[in-house]
Amino acid sequence: DREKVVKIFSTSQVVTFVCSSLVAMVIIAVISLFPSLMSSENVRISTILITISLPFFVTNKNTWSYYIGFRRMKEYSLFRLYRYIMTIIIIGAWTIFKMPMVYAVLSFAITDIIMSVYLHAINRKAFSVKEISREWAGIHLSFGAKSILTEVISSVYARMPIIIVGYYLGDRDSGMYSIASTMASGILIIASILQDNFNPVVANLHGTGDTTMLNNYVRKLRKFSYLSLIPLIAGSVVIYKIYILFLGSEYKETSVIYNILIIGVAMTYLVSWAGGVLTMTGNQMLNLLRIAITLVFAVVGCIILVPLMGVIGAAVSFSFSALVNMIVLYIFILNRAKIKIL
C-alpha cells in the first residue's frame, strides 16, 4: 500500500525533525544564555554548529531506515560511505588551509545538511506534507520517543570528546582528535550495515519465537565480526598513514591518538551489529539506558583524563567507554533476549 507508506514515512520525518530540532534549540539556548560554560568563543560556536546538524543527522538515519525496510541496501551502503568520505574531505581541507577548530566541526554540519537535502530530493515521491497523519504522529511519538532520544545521545557521544578537548586544550588539539577519531571510526560503517540488515531479522524471528534460527544468524554474524576485524583494522591503518602523509608531518603526532582510539573502535565493532537487538525485542528503555551509561563514562572520563593526559586522555576515555558499552550490551541482551553476542 504505497499511500500508507507515504503517510507513515512523511509523518515520521516531520516528527523526527521537529523533536530533534526542539532538543537542538534547547541546547543552543543554554549555550547562548550561559556563554561562560564554554572556554572560548570558538568552542561555543563549534558546539552550536554541531548541534545545528543534529536534526539533519537524525532524519538522514530515518531515511536510511526507509531504504532498509525496502531492502535497498546498495543505496543505503553507498550513502553511508558518501557521508564518511565527504567528512574526511572537508576535515582534510580544513587542515591544509590551517583553519580554526570551528571549520573542523563544521564538516559534520555541512555533510549532514547536504546529505539531508539530497536524500529528500531523490525520495520526494515518498514524502508529502498533505499525508501527515495525526494518528501516525501519535504512534511514532509513543514508540519512537525513546529511539529518537537514543539517537540524540549517540550523536552527543560521538561529538562530545571534540568539544571537551577544545574546552580544556584549545583548537589545535581538538582538531588533532577530530582527525584521528574520524579516521579510526571508518570501519564502523561495516558494522552499521550489518546491524541494519540484522534488525528486521531479529524483529521477525523474535516475534515468531524461532530462537533456533535467530541463534544461527547470531553465530554467523559473530564469526564474521571476528574474522573481518583484523583485515579491516589493517586497511584502516594503511588509509590513515596515507591520509597523514597527505596532510603533512605536523599531523604525525595524531598516530598515538589513533592507535588508542582504534582499540575502542575494535571493541565497538565486535558488538555494534547487535546494537538494535534491544529495540527490536521491545526493550527501548534498556537500550536508552545502555547508551546513557556509555555517554556518562565517556564524558566523565574526558573531564578527568584530558586535563591530566591531554588529547591522549580523550582517546583513553573513548576506548574505556567502548569497553563499558560492550559489557553492558552483552549483559542486557543476554538477560532480555537470551542471545550471546560474544
- Residue 192 to residue 207: CA distance in whole angstroms: 23
Do the beta carbons of residue 76 and residue 64 sit within 8 Å?
A: yes
Q: What is the pLDDT of residue 144?
A: 64
Q: Three cell numbers at 54?
A: 543534529
Taking the chain (342 residues) in consecutive chunks of 10 residues, what is each chunk's mean pLDDT? Answer: 85 88 89 77 78 87 83 81 85 74 74 92 88 82 68 78 85 83 82 70 74 84 88 90 81 89 93 80 84 94 95 96 95 88 86
pTM here is 0.76
pLDDT value of position 170: 78
Q: Note the Cα 93 to chain centre separation in Å.
A: 22
Separation CA 192–CA 203 (nearest Å): 17
Number of H helices, E strands in the chain: 13, 0
Instruction: Return the sign of the alpha-carbon dihedral for residues 196, 198, 201, 207.
Output: negative
**Across 74-147, where does the E strand assignment appear?**
none
Report whether 326 contacts 270 (CB < 8 A): yes
Q: How many CB atoms lie within 10 A of CB 136?
A: 19
